[in-house]
Amino acid sequence: MSKLSDLPPHMKLFARLLDEVKSDYRPPLPEIHDVPVAFYLDDDWLARERFELFAGYPIIVGHETMLTQAGEHFTHDHLGKPLLIVRGRDDHIRAFYNVCRHRGMRLAQNTEVMRKPSFVCPYHHWAYDLDGSLKNVPLSESFDGVNLSCRGLKEVPCEIRHGFIWVQIGETKPLDLNSHLGEIDADLDAFGTGDQHVFRQTTTTKKANWKLIVEAFQDGYHVVRLHQKSVGPLFMDARASMDRVGNNLRAAVARAFFPEILNAPPEKWDDRNHVSFAHYIFPNTIIVFHPDYISHMGLFPQGVDETVVVHTCLIPKEPETEKERDHWERAFDIIENGVFQAEDFFVCENAQIGMASGANETLLLGAQEYGIALFHDILRDEMGPFRQSPS
């Protein structure tokens, strides 16, 4: 039999959830329980968040299986900077500013993946190779005396890990995934996100603060209530355990079969069917590990009440038959449209309207919203206590 100390980190949380359910223990609420609504409405605070959090840390902009051949690329503007993500002839994926080094024209326009042998600026036709180097300047003699060799595309720090494409747009510190992920590195390894394939990706704009959307996925209180007509019956009521791992969160949410294994040895524990793990990777990523596929969400604030949500469905292998494709289409439709859009994002958008109304000065967290309080601890540790801007 496995010893508890031999279990991988996420299964130690599984074991703790078992203990908590067996002994009917619920963790007490950490310190924060009353959050000012201004935290979700303050433009100056959001500007700080975008600079300190979204530009200061590695951010996932895609999965490597989106780009399988040299020249495949997509653009990404959701961080407020025009980015171009490209697979090169040497098979490396690189990120560049999608900006011509002549007079700043945007090089590529497509948000969907396309394939090109090089990037030719529409304006005066400067041409760049897939590694960003400048390879042709029409009438180059007209730039006599200018060193064109250093006019390759400006590169953005980029790393592939666990299948995800991570970039960091701020230049104040290096991209450091080891310290960013900590133990979450082992979790992503255990769940094999690097062996998955992108099946579908949707990009939608929600009229809600990005923090409200993070919170919807750290909240064990709502699952059987808000989702009573969809996935709620698949879960136990308010039985979730959470770990803070550096600035990240790991949550194990007990599924309906969980009571069957309360006295079973670790060999019988199933990390995809007895619980659903939901990870928050600082600052803007939610990953939900469903029994047979993975939902990855990247949240990109555009304003205090506007967030772009990129939802990517990762499946274990490309569908080979129509039947397999139909299976994944149905699974994606249920989670994207039936659960996330119609239920989770619906409440986020309506809570945003409610907060802006002035009816409440604060929002309240109870002990079942422990994960949200941990999220607020992380934000406070990074940025200090919230202070409303003078109006």
Would you say 161 or 255 has its CB closer to Fe ion?
A: 255
Number of Cβ within 10 Å of residue 145's Cβ equals 4
Task: Count interface residues toward Fe ion (CB under 5 A).
Answer: 1
Q: Which residue has the tokens 């923090």?
A: 211
Bridge partners of 165? 62, 160
The token pair that represents 349 in the structure block: 């958008």
- Residue 103's binding partner among ligand FES, Fe ion, none (Cβ under 5 to 8 angstroms by kind) is ligand FES
CA distances from 142 to 136, 148, 217, 365 (A): 13, 11, 56, 65
Nearest to 7 by CA among 181, 246, 18, 236: 18
Distance, in Å, from the CA atom of 129 to the CA atom of 248, rounded to the nearest integer, reads 37
Q: CB of 123: closest distance to ligand FES in angstroms?
A: 4
- Residue 229's binding partner among Fe ion, ligand FES, none (Cβ under 5 to 8 angstroms by kind) is none
Q: CB of 99: closest distance to ligand FES in angstroms?
A: 9
Q: CB of 234: closest distance to Fe ion in angstroms?
A: 12
Q: CB of 101: closest distance to ligand FES in angstroms?
A: 8
Would you say 104 or 192 has its CB closer to ligand FES?
A: 104
Q: CB of 387: closest distance to Fe ion in angstroms?
A: 30
- Residue 123's binding partner among Fe ion, ligand FES, none (Cβ under 5 to 8 angstroms by kind) is ligand FES
Q: What is the C-alpha end-to-end distance of the chain, expressed in Å?
A: 62
User: Interface with ligand FES includes 256 (CB under 6 A)?
Assistant: no
Nearest to 281 by CA among 166, 173, 152: 166
Would you say 12 or 81 has its CB closer to ligand FES?
A: 81
Would you say 121 or 339 has its CB closer to ligand FES?
A: 121
Q: CB of 125: closest distance to ligand FES in angstroms?
A: 6
Bridge partners of 252? 241, 277
User: Interface with Fe ion includes 344 (CB under 5 A)?
Assistant: yes
Q: CB of 107: closest distance to ligand FES in angstroms?
A: 7
Would you say 25 or 143 has its CB closer to ligand FES?
A: 143
- Residue 12's binding partner among ligand FES, Fe ion, none (Cβ under 5 to 8 angstroms by kind) is none
Would you say 102 or 272 has its CB closer to ligand FES?
A: 102
Strand order in the sheet with 134-136: 119-120, 127-128, 134-136
Distance, in Å, from the CA atom of 136 to the CA atom of 1, rounded to the nearest integer, reads 65
Q: CB of 352: closest distance to ligand FES in angstroms?
A: 39
Closest-by-Cβ residue to Fe ion is 344
Q: Which residues of 357-384 are buried (b: 16+ CB within 10 A; e: fewer)?
A: eeeeeebebeebbbbbbbbbbbbeebee
Query: Per CB under 5 A, which region of 89-97, 255-263, 305-313, 337-345 contacts Fe ion?
Result: 337-345
- Residue 154's binding partner among ligand FES, Fe ion, none (Cβ under 5 to 8 angstroms by kind) is none
Would you say 129 or 329 has its CB closer to ligand FES?
A: 129
- Residue 344's binding partner among Fe ion, ligand FES, none (Cβ under 5 to 8 angstroms by kind) is Fe ion
Q: CB of 197: closest distance to ligand FES in angstroms?
A: 35
Q: Which of residues 95-134 bind ligand FES (CB under 6 A)?
A: 100, 102-103, 105, 121, 123-126
Binding-site ranges for Fe ion (CB under 5 A): 344
Binding-site ranges for ligand FES (CB under 6 A): 100, 102-103, 105, 121, 123-126
